[in-house]
């Protein structure tokens, strides 16, 4: 039985049936015992009263062998009177007779009328075939016994009492039995039994009906609650008014209604949260995608900046090498000017010594002319190298401007990247400072180069003037020795110019050393910038990988939110 209503009806019916049966059985047995005890006590009293009517000595003379004596007939009449007076069915005496194979119990005096036909009473010596247990107990124990209400075919319904008959010495010589006719009582008990069974049936039917109604009162709201639970199981969470009762079922229904309401609010909140989560995930994914694109652009810019830094390193190395060559050339010019100064001094001494050294002076002038030509070549070469240095300085300034532009772009991209670009912004600021320092060094180099170029130009003009003067002096020396004084004067001028050129050359050499130091510093800073750009590029690649991982996580989060929305969509709110 899967129905709770049928189970309740069945269980309560069984309980009522068992209770009614047990109660009826107890009432019936109690009634039987009460009747048996009441009638048995009356039979006992009658038997004891009849026993007092028996003369024991005469009674002992009554035997089956002697037959019906006068006292037998007298005693039979007395017992019949007592039987009829007390409405007994049977009143009799019995005796135990020993035999080889046991004992038998025979009737002595049957208290029936003398005119009773044979067959309607038990003559003297008749053996009792149906000896009940109370009779046997009375014979064996020698005490009064009261039997239960019995019914059998020969005698009908009876309640018996058995009183021992004892002689003067106290020996038991038999028993006297008194049987009440309990037919009417027995019929009444049967009637009561039938009435009891009918009453139990009616009570059972009424109990089944009441139980069914009561179970329906219990089960109906439970069934309604079960249907609502099934609806909740199917995902329907609509508002439910519940079962209006004040008992446990009503409290259960109210608790279930509140649970559904709380669950509905939770599902609505989860649904709203899932939508917000999905929107946030979408926005985050878009931001991550934008950051990914920006990181790619930053990585590309950093690659270009790293490449430009490498080119700048190469240019710096070329600048250092060129400045080294300029320094060498300037040292050579200084050495040549020193030689020219020495030669001018010697010419002056030779001019002062006299005309005899004119030929030697002519020869010396030739040497001076050759030296002047070579010095002119060297100075021209120095001018060319200075021009190249100017070009290199211009390239350095262009690289510095490009680096400054790249650092500005990097700072802008770092500001766009937000928190992730703070470290990159610091590096971009350092790069900008390095670019500013490079540009400042390039400006200083340019100023030195312009100074060198100015000095070189003056030297060139002086050398050209010196060459002209040497040519004129040589012509004058060849034409006339008398112009020696003029030559001496000119040589003195040349010596002064050479000394000035030597001083300028020394200044140029010192400037070249400073330019070389600046170029070394620029090279070091350029290398440091290149290393920083490489580190930034690597960090940007790592940041790009992290952003890609975040993008993958956002996609997974989006899938999770979609799955959660699919689960929530099963509920009807």
Same structural domain for residues 199 and 346? no
Percent of the chain with pLDDT over 70: 70
Tally of domains within the chain: 2
**Whether pLDDT at 551 is above 70:** yes
Q: Are 130 and 154 in contact (CB under 8 A)?
A: yes
Long-range contacts of 490-494 (CB under 8 A, 24+ apart): 491/344, 491/347, 491/348, 491/351, 492/344, 492/348, 493/469, 494/344, 494/347, 494/368, 494/466, 494/469, 494/470
Instruction: Give the whole-angstrom CA distance, residue 72 versus residue 287.
Output: 135
CATH number for the domain that contains residue 187: 3.30.450.20
Domain-embedded: residue 275: no
Question: In the prediction, which pLDDT does 536 show?
Answer: 65
Same structural domain for residues 169 and 304? no
- Of 207, 236, 262, which closes a domain? 207
Instruction: Give the whole-angstrom CA distance, residue 525 versus residue 531.
Output: 10
List, for residues 294-325, the tens digit of each pLDDT value: 667 766 766 676 676 677 667 667 765 766 77
**Whether pLDDT at 40 is above 70:** yes
Question: In the prediction, which pLDDT does 573 show?
Answer: 61
Same structural domain for residues 300 and 194? no
**Whether pLDDT at 494 is above 70:** no
**DSSP helix/strand/coil, 148:** coil
**Whether pLDDT at 358 is above 90:** no
Same structural domain for residues 441 and 318? yes
- Of 207, 232, 252, which closes a domain? 207
Same structural domain for residues 197 and 298? no
Instruction: Give the whole-angstrom CA distance, residue 12 versus residue 262.
Output: 38
Same structural domain for residues 321 and 448? yes
Same structural domain for residues 166 and 294? no
Domain-embedded: residue 215: no
Handedness of CA 23, 24, 29, 34 (dihedral sign): positive
Q: Are 79 and 111 in contact (CB under 8 A)?
A: yes
Same structural domain for residues 190 and 296? no
Question: In the prediction, which pLDDT does 4 show?
Answer: 66
- Mark out the alpha helices in 86-181 (DSSP H runs): 133-141
Instruction: Give the whole-angstrom CA distance, residue 279 versus residue 459.
Output: 78
Same structural domain for residues 324 and 463? yes
In this prediction, residue 119 has a pLDDT band, given cuts at 50, 70 and 90, of: confident
User: 358-417 and 248-353 helices cross at what angle (nearest 10)?
Assistant: 170
Handedness of CA 150, 156, 157, 161 (dihedral sign): negative
Same structural domain for residues 548 and 401? yes
List, for residues 46-98, the tens digit of each pLDDT value: 999 999 999 999 999 898 888 888 999 999 999 999 999 998 888 999 999 88
Domain-embedded: residue 269: no
Question: In the prediction, which pLDDT does 19 show?
Answer: 81
Question: In the prediction, which pLDDT does 480 show?
Answer: 54
Domain-embedded: residue 255: no
Same structural domain for residues 180 and 295? no
Element housing 179 (H / E): strand 172-181
> How many C-alpha atoms does 492 have within 13 Å on its Cβ side?
9
Domain-embedded: residue 102: yes
Mean pLDDT for the stretch of residues 141-150 = 84
Domain-embedded: residue 238: no
In this prediction, residue 191 has a pLDDT band, given cuts at 50, 70 and 90, of: confident
Residue with tokens 């005693």: 75
Instruction: Give the whole-angstrom CA distance, residue 441 versus residue 312.
Output: 14
> 478 is in which domain, residue-wise?
285-568
Taking phi first (over 0 means left), then psi (-120 to 50 degrees means alpha), and beta for anything else, what does residue 152 get?
beta
Instruction: Give the whole-angstrom CA distance, residue 536 versus residue 544.
Output: 12
Q: Which of 122-131, 449-458, 481-490 has the lowest mean pLDDT?
A: 481-490
- Of 207, 237, 269, which closes a domain? 207
**Whether pLDDT at 175 is above 90:** yes
Instruction: Give the whole-angstrom CA distance, residue 380 versus residue 20.
Output: 144
Handedness of CA 7, 10, 15, 18 (dihedral sign): negative
Domain-embedded: residue 325: yes
Q: Are 232 and 53 in contact (CB under 8 A)?
A: no
Q: How many residues does the chain have?
A: 573
List, for residues 504-530, the tens digit of each pLDDT value: 567 766 766 775 676 677 667 667 766
Average pLDDT value for the chain: 76
Same structural domain for residues 34 and 169? yes
List, for residues 237-263, the tens digit of each pLDDT value: 666 666 666 767 777 777 777 777 777
Domain-embedded: residue 221: no
Instruction: Give the whole-angstrom CA distance, residue 301 versus residue 304.
Output: 5
pTM of the complete model: 0.38
Other residues' Cβ atoms within 10 Å of the Cβ of residue 255: 11
């Amino acid at each position: 039985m899967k129905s709770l209503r049928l189970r309740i009806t069945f269980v309560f019916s069984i309980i009522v049936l068992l209770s009614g049966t047990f109660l009826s059985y107890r009432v019936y047995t109690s009634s039987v015992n009460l009747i048996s005890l009441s009638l048995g006590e009356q039979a006992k009293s009658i038997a004891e009263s009849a026993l007092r009517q028996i003369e024991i000595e005469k009674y002992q003379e009554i035997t089956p062998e002697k037959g019906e004596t006068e006292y037998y007939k007298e005693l039979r009449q007395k017992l019949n009177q007592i039987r009829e007076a007390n409405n007994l069915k049977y009143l009799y005496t019995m005796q135990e007779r020993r035999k080889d194979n046991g004992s038998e119990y025979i009737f002595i005096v049957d208290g029936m009328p003398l005119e009773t036909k044979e067959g309607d009473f038990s003559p003297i010596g008749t053996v009792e075939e149906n000896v009940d247990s109370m009779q046997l107990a009375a014979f064996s124990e020698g005490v009064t016994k009261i039997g239960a209400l019995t019914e059998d075919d020969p005698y009908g319904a009876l309640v018996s009492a058995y009183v021992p008959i004892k002689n003067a010495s106290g020996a038991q010589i038999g028993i006297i039995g008194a049987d009440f006719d309990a037919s009417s009582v027995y019929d009444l008990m049967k009637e009561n039994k039938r009435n009891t069974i009918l009453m139990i049936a009616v009570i059972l039917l009424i109990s089944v009906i009441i139980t069914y109604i009561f179970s329906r009162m219990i089960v109906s709201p439970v069934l309604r609650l079960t249907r609502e639970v099934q609806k909740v199981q199917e995902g329907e969470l609509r508002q439910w008014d519940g079962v209006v009762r004040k008992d446990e079922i009503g409290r259960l229904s109210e608790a279930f209604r509140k649970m559904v309401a709380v669950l509905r609010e939770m599902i609505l909140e989860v649904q709203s949260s899932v939508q917000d989560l999905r929107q946030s995930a979408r926005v985050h994914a878009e931001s991550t995608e934008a950051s990914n694109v920006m990181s790619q652009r930053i990585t590309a810019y950093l690659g270009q900046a790293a490449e430009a830094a490498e080119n700048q390193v190469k240019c710096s190395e070329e600048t250092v090498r060129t400045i080294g060559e300029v320094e060498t050339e300037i040292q050579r010019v200084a050495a040549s000017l020193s030689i020219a100064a020495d030669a001018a001094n010697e010419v002056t001494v030779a001019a002062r010594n006299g005309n005899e050294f004119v030929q030697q002076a002519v020869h010396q002038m030739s040497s001076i002319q050759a030296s002047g030509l070579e010095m002119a070549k060297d100075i021209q070469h120095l001018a060319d190298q200075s021009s190249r240095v100017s070009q290199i300085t211009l390239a350095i300034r262009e690289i510095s401007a490009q680096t400054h532009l790249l650092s500005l772009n990097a700072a802008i991209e770092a500001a766009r990247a937000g928190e992730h670009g703070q470290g990159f912004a610091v590096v971009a600021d350092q790069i900008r400072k390095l670019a500013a320092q490079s540009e400042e060094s390039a400006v200083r180099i340019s100023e030195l180069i312009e100074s060198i170029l100015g000095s070189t130009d003056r030297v060139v003009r002086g050398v050209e003037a010196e060459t002209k003067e040497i040519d004129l002096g040589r012509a004058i020396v060849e034409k006339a020795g008398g112009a020696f004084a003029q030559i001496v004067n000119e040589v003195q001028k040349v010596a002064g110019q050479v000394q000035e050129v030597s001083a300028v050359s020394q200044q140029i050499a010192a400037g070249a050393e400073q330019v070389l130091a600046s170029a070394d510093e620029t090279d070091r800073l350029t290398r440091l910038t290149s290393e920083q750009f490489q580190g930034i590029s690597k960090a940007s690649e790592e940041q790009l990988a992290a952003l890609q991982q975040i993008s993958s996580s956002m996609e997974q989060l989006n899938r999770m939110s979609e799955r959660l929305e699919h689960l929530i969509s099963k509920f009807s709110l």
